[in-house]
Structure 1
Amino acid sequence: MTAVDDRPRTTGIVKVFENLDVPEGFKVELLRGVIVMTAGPDVAHNDIVEAVQDQIPRQRWRRLQTQDIAILEETSQPQPDLVVLERGAGPGHGRLMPSEVITLLVEVVSKTSMDRDYMVKRSIYAAAKIPAYFIIDPVMAQCVLLTEPVGHGEDADYRRQRITKFGDLTPMEPLDLDLDLDTSEFAAYENVRPHRYP
């Protein structure tokens, strides 16, 4: 089991971030030294997270929502929509989960998070060597599974990318999850301008 200091020894922005008084209904993350505060998610967003969580077998995997991640080398403490790690791995208490024990991170794109989810977090998670990053995008009604992280810092990325449309089964075999994720319940956002990611 890997342990992590619940209070990183970094000074400056990390201390400011950890002492923020966050208004109820907001989410705050530290992404490469930048504090990002966002409003609570759309109901469709939460339904998607629940649908994914329900399909990942609890007997083998811990499926954690609103879990802060410790990525100290990146001066980052993101809070993905869903964190998946093997049952028995990671600490059983504390605010931060060490990135080294994580198998999969899931982010559901919001109407304002496209750049963060597709660019900033993609690079941060790859730099942290998270084996798989799964982006669920209700704006474009697609899923993007990223695997095989390579590189360091802002140049880090994932070598493999698989895109599937909502309604298609999404194979999760790179994670040894032995399942095809059913995306038929995923709802697309309405009246949102399309983007060009990934």
Structure 2
Amino acid sequence: MMGEDADMRTMLAPPMSTPHDAGRRDLEQRYQRVCDLFPDQRVEIVNGRIVIREVPTLDHNRMIFRLLLQIMAFADQRGWTACNDIKLFLGTQVDRYRPDITVVPAEPRMWDAENVYADQTLLVVEVVSPSSRDDDNLLKPHSCSLAGVPLYLVIDPLEKTARLLSQPGRSGYVQQDAVMLGELLLLPDPWDLKLDTGKFLN
């Protein structure tokens, strides 16, 4: 009987806190303080570091606007919403991203008021800037694939390319379709929509 009581106490005892857990809590607290200090800035956690993105340039915003012009009517007909400042919830111990555009269905599952579950999205878009090149092209796609983001679109005005990643998996996205800006790029189901990437050029 004493052995059974000891086993029960072990089962009911709270899990031991690890240095990793403490470090993660400290990172989350610092992240929240930075968000509070810079409410008008795009603050992210990328690969365990807190990043404050520079204010987007006019060309950056113009590219986002031209993409929105192509997808808004299609999304609106289906009750979807294109957000330019919602956060992606990738998991409790994972990074925090604020993509340039995130399209979600009418009633997406939310982790809280500011964070949508990554696998609830219909499209995530990043427009590359000089300071975000590695993050947008390498680090973020890997985390988004693990979290189940179905479609991840990277528009790179520096390389003049658009790259759509689809079929997320544990090792990264299985499918990649890349075009030079000026060519057509197909958004697959549930979109089945051709993007004219020439409209992203100045």
Identity of aligned residues (%): 27
The size of the alignment, in residue pairs, is 174
- Determine if contact 1:22/1:28 at 8 Å carries over to the other structure: no
Partner of 1:59: 77
How far apart in 2 are the matches of 1:87 and 1:32?
A: 30
Partner of 1:127: 146
Change (3 A) 1:187 1:111: farther
Q: Pick 1 or 2: higher relative contact order, CA cutoff 8 A, min separation 6.
A: 1
Larger radius of gyration: 2
- Describe the SS at the equivalent of 1:130: coil
How far apart in 2 are the matches of 1:136 and 1:74?
A: 28
- Determine if contact 1:74/1:124 at 8 Å carries over to the other structure: no
Partner of 2:129: 110
- Describe the SS at the equivalent of 2:107: coil
- Shift of the alpha carbon at 1:22? 3.6
Change (3 A) 1:187 1:74: farther
How far apart in 1 are the matches of 2:93 and 2:65?
A: 29
1:76 aligns with 2:95: yes
- Describe the SS at the equivalent of 1:72: coil
Gaps of 5+ in 1: 1-9, 189-198
Equivalent residues in 2 for 1:1-198 (5 A)? 11-20=25-34, 21-23=36-38, 26-56=41-71, 57=74, 58-60=76-78, 61-91=80-110, 94-151=113-170, 156-173=171-188, 175-187=189-201
Change (3 A) 1:89 1:27: closer
Counterpart of 1:29, as a letter, is E
- Shift of the alpha carbon at 1:87? 2.4
Gaps of 5+ in 2: 1-23
Name the TM-score, length of structure 1 as normaliser.
0.80
The runs of at least 4 aligned residues of structure 1 exceeding 4 Å deviation read none
- The structure in which a higher percent of residues are strand is 1
TM-align CA RMSD: 2.0
Counterpart of 1:100, as a letter, is D
